[in-house]
Amino acid sequence: GESVGLHLPTLSVQEGDNSIINCAYSNSASDYFIWYKQESGKGPQFIIDIRSNMDKRQGQRVTVLLNKTVKHLSLQIAATQPGDSAVYFCAENGALGGGFKTIFGAGTRLFVKA
Amino acid sequence: EAQVTQNPRYLITVTGKKLTVTCSQNMNHEYMSWYRQDPGLGLRQIYYSMNVEVTDKGDVPEGYKVSRKEKRNFPLILESPSPNQTSLYFCASSSSSSSYNEQFFGPGTRLTVL
């Protein structure tokens, strides 16, 4: 499969534990934030999103927290499973001239030990 | 099946030989974008398009061209490829140009320029 990077921060967790992946974003004008999951050989896939007027949003087994004061985003995965092993990217969308631009973080590799 | 397709998936070429990577989506999405992914750098936006005949530069547009003559297609053109354009390329689409939308990604194109 495609290699997505050799120099990524790595988080290793035991199956069943909770995982927390952190991200610092860059643009204080960004108004929408997304977490993507990228498995080997595939393109990024949407997990969960949050608008800038919120500080927490929950999905199925995943929660995103947004702290605009320190420009920090986190992804919490409950009861982590082997299928969660992947690279996780945060992304920020900023409105620009009728459209938007997207900036991605460098990514974190999550490794789940069975 | 709703999807973003890219062709070719793998390409090895030589410096200076013009090439085109095609991207097509069947979801009637307005917004389309190209990214490159390099180790440790995450995904960086090359160009994006808010609709037919509307394109704009992302963060790393040098050496690339795009066109959006039809809503479903957004080809990436390298007029004179160089080795520093060796990378993994992703096309993505989003339902509208509002920044409050996630993107759907293609499977990626691995390009090697010798």
Identify the closest residue of chain A to B6 by CA–CA distance: A43
Interface check A6 vs B, CB under 8 A: yes
Interface check A52 vs B, CB under 8 A: no
The per-residue pLDDT for range B29-86, each reduced to its tens digit, is 999 999 999 987 889 999 999 999 999 999 899 999 999 999 999 999 999 999 999 9
Here the tokens at position A50 are 């949050």
B contacts of A89 (beta carbons < 8 Å): 42-43
Are B42 and A105 in contact (CB < 8 Å)?
yes
Between strands B10-13 and B109-113, the pairing is parallel
Q: Which residue type does A44 have?
A: P
Task: State how far the alpha carbon of B71 is from the alpha carbons of A87, A108, B25, in Å.
Answer: 31, 34, 8
A contacts of B98 (beta carbons < 8 Å): 100
Question: Among partner residues B31, B33, B39, which is closest to A5 by beta-carbon distance?
Answer: B39
Q: Which residue has the higher pLDDT, B15 or A30?
A: B15
Peptide bond before residue B8 is cis, with ω within 30 degrees of 0: yes
pLDDT category at A8 given cuts 50, 70, 90 is confident
Task: State how far the alpha carbon of B99 is from the alpha carbons of A30, A86, B96, in Å.
Answer: 9, 26, 8
Query: Which pLDDT belongs to residue A95?
Result: 75
Question: Among partner residues B4, B40, B58, which is closest to A101 by beta-carbon distance?
Answer: B58
Nearest CA-CA partner of A100 in B23, B30, B48, B24: B48
For residue B40, the distance in angstroms to the closest alpha carbon of chain A comes to: 5
Does residue B87 surpass a pLDDT of 80? Answer: yes
Question: For the sheet containing A62-67, what is the strand order?
Answer: A19-24, A72-77, A62-67, A56-58
Interface check A108 vs B, CB under 8 A: no
CA angle A83, A84, A90 (to 5 degrees): 150
Structure-derived torsion over alpha carbons of residues A46, A51, A55, A59, reported in degrees to the nearest 10: -30
Eight-class DSSP state of B70: S
Structure-derived torsion over alpha carbons of residues B65, B69, B74, B77, reported in degrees to the nearest 10: -30
